[in-house]
Amino acid sequence: MRNTLLQRASALATTLGITSLGVLGAGAAPAQAAISDCPQGYFCGWANGDGTGSMFKTRTSVPTLGSWDNKIRMRFNRTGLNVCMYDQQNYGLAGGYSWDTPAQSYPTGGGGAEISSIKLVPTLRECEAEPYPYWETATSPKVGGFGDMNGDRRADAVLRDEAGRLWFMPGNGTGNMIGSGGWNAMNALARHGDFSRDGREDVIAREKATGKLWLYPGTGSGGLGVRKLIGSGGWNTMGLLAAFGDLSGDGRSDLLGVEKATGKLWLYPGTSSGGLGARKLIGSGGWNSMNALVGAGDMTGDGRADLVAREKATGKLWLYPGTSARTLGARKLIGTGGWNAMDHILGVGDTSGDGRPDLEASDGFSLFQYQGLATGGLRRVDNSNGSWWALEDATAF
């Protein structure tokens, strides 16, 4: 019996790197002439281990293989998708499965022929689960709170998967696709606050190839509207970006950015037109020592937005409170170490339902809730959410 991806999740990063060489025998030498009959865009299979004779081919998922059931001994994946091969019909997981990665340059063989159904999917996670992880949050006592994109008083999350699709997770365990592809063209994603001034939370994205900055206005239902250019170029000079909330005190949401070359922290205030105003220096240097910035809302309960940052060298988590001078105050340690083990840190408002902003963080397998305390500190809650595996190349925000 072949194990599932979830059963191997503790070693997933290593496993994904050697899939085609170890599990699937991709080291086999290219087979004979009939291999060339497999068309581009198809998954092909042969009963003979040398790739000769009758050929099975498909470009869509196949729940039952008919006469090809348990017959395929050599395979060639010429699709742009992952091919999940199950020991049972109808993609049954009880018998386990193996997979071929996209667009292979030569056929693979070896192992048994226990293939009874085949599924073609954009991400390996979809061999056995939804493309997005489980996300459930409590109803907050505050209406229109920070992190709520659809106005239901639950903190929401957004996930870009490794295939470049965007998923909206509204806090009830479900997910909806709000971007069908192309989001891998962005090398920074941030959300929080109403930049477009229509009462809805928005998303900001930086385009990798051009350094342009785009605003995607929220629709109020969790989706995104037509994008608007708010930075014509040069934004690739910034490392970390964080949509912060209102630090400048004008009632508009602001953006923070760390300059790669200098380590300076800049505030870009939101404008009445939905763009960004002239930047203001709020950190004179040293911010390159941080490898995560999270606009976490009002963690200290003083009515001002605060910033959370993770220190690269130590894995410590620091809280930088917003001040009445519209800058950041003296930092406070809220995580003594170990935070570098977290792949995703999400500051999406009140997830626990107590009216205070919380943090959620994933270690590559489980998602943990860190409840915000009245003092601005955190209390970890293990909510037994073990659905955050196989998301190493995904971005949650």
Q: How far apart are CA 141 and CA 154, in angstroms?
A: 9
Q: Is the pLDDT of residue 22 over 90?
A: no
For the beta carbon of residue 217, count every other beta carbon within 10 angstroms: 21
Helix, strand or coil for residue 199?
Answer: coil
**Which has the minimum average pLDDT: 82-96, 121-135, 243-257, 342-356?**
243-257
CATH topology of domain 157-396: Neuraminidase (2.120.10)
| Dihedral pair phi/psi, residue 239, rounded to 5° | -85, -90
| Dihedral pair phi/psi, residue 13, rounded to 5° | -60, -40
CB 235 within 8 A of CB 183: no
The tokens of 273 are what? Answer: 């037109």
Strand 186-191 and strand 332-335: pairing? Answer: unpaired
Using alpha carbons, select from 204, 194, 265 the residue that is nearest to residue 230.
204
Q: Is the pLDDT of residue 16 over 90?
A: no
The answer to whether 35-127 and 157-396 have equal CATH topology is no
Give residue-wise pLDDT tens across range 386-396.
Answer: 999 999 999 99
Q: How far apart are CA 224 and CA 186, in angstroms?
A: 15
Q: How far apart are CA 297 and CA 307, in angstroms?
A: 8
314-342 mean pLDDT: 96
Place of tokens 């909806």: 176
Place of tokens 């998708």: 81
Q: Is the pLDDT of residue 143 over 50?
A: yes
Per-domain boundaries in the chain: 35-127, 157-396
pLDDT of residue 134: 98
Q: How far apart are CA 280 and CA 367, in angstroms?
A: 35
Q: 307 or 30, which is more confident?
A: 307
H-helix or E-strand containing 368?
strand 367-372
pLDDT of residue 30: 41
CB 215 within 8 A of CB 208: no
For the beta carbon of residue 122, count every other beta carbon within 10 angstroms: 17
**Which has the minimum average pLDDT: 102-116, 223-237, 342-356?**
102-116
296-314 mean pLDDT: 94
Superfamily of domain 35-127: Crystallins (2.60.20.10)
Q: Which residues pair with 243 in a beta bridge?
A: 255
Give the CA angle between residues 117, 32, 62 to the nearest 5°.
Answer: 15
154-162 mean pLDDT: 97
Give residue-wise pLDDT tens across range 230-275.
Answer: 999 999 999 999 998 888 788 889 999 999 999 999 999 999 888 9
Percent of the chain at pLDDT > 90 equals 77
Q: How far apart are CA 298 and CA 290, in angstroms?
A: 21
